[in-house]
Amino acid sequence: MAQPRFQLIPGSRLPGGKGGVGWRLLGMNNRELGRSAHSFPDAEAAQAAIARLRDDLPETAGHISHDPVNQSWHWRLDGSDGPVAVSGRGFRHERECRYNLDQFLETSPAAPAAKSDVPSEFPWQRAELATADSEGIM
């Protein structure tokens, strides 16, 4: 089994999907435990956000919500400056959502961050940022 770890992902996979770079936390079974609440301009900023998340974890507050349209439960982790992490998917049952949040909180302090030699721009990032700029999104 793989070790829990943070992984950098395209910002288009995050809430709002505006491009850039985000992160997600994968568990030992490679299932996503959570992801960044928003994207960052580059890989270094995303890695800095992972470090801040770890430092600020004791002061964060978890919130569980139900989406009546999709009939699914989601969690959000708020820091002093607003949301820092969200569930990567919806859950059928509230208890599954709470368990996922607990796993995120338990795993994130020790999970290694993405490799430090990640370039500041990925090929997909250049294309997404160019598209976002041309559409006036960023």
**% pLDDT > 70, the chain:** 76
pTM over 0.75: yes
Assign residue 87 a region (left: φ > 0; alpha: ψ between -120 and 50; beta: otherwise): beta
Note the pLDDT of residue 127: 55
Return the higher-pLDDT residue of 14 and 9. 9
78-99 average pLDDT score = 95
**CA–CA separation, 1 vs 27, rounded Å?**
10
For the chain, the straight-line distance linking the first and the last C-alpha, in angstroms and rounded, comes to 39
Tell me the per-residue pLDDT of 48-83, one tens digit each, with 9 for 90 and over: 999 999 999 999 999 999 999 999 999 999 998 899
The domains of the chain are located at 5-114
CATH number of 5-114: 2.30.29.80
Position 130 confidence tier, pLDDT thresholds 50, 70, 90: low
What is the pLDDT of the chain when averaged over all its residues?
A: 83
27-43 average pLDDT score = 90
Note the pLDDT of residue 17: 62
Q: Extract the tokens encoding 37.
A: 């609440």
Tell me the per-residue pLDDT of 101-127, one tens digit each, with 9 for 90 and over: 999 999 999 998 866 444 445 555 555
Residue 43 predicted with pLDDT over 80: yes
Q: Extract the tokens encoding 12.
A: 């288009």
Residue 1 predicted with pLDDT over 70: no
Q: Extract the tokens encoding 91.
A: 């859950």
Contact assessment for residue 67 and residue 53, using Cβ atoms and an 8 Å cutoff: no
Collapse the DSSP code of 91 into the 3-class scheme (helix H, G, I; strand E, B; otherwise coil) and give the result.
Answer: strand
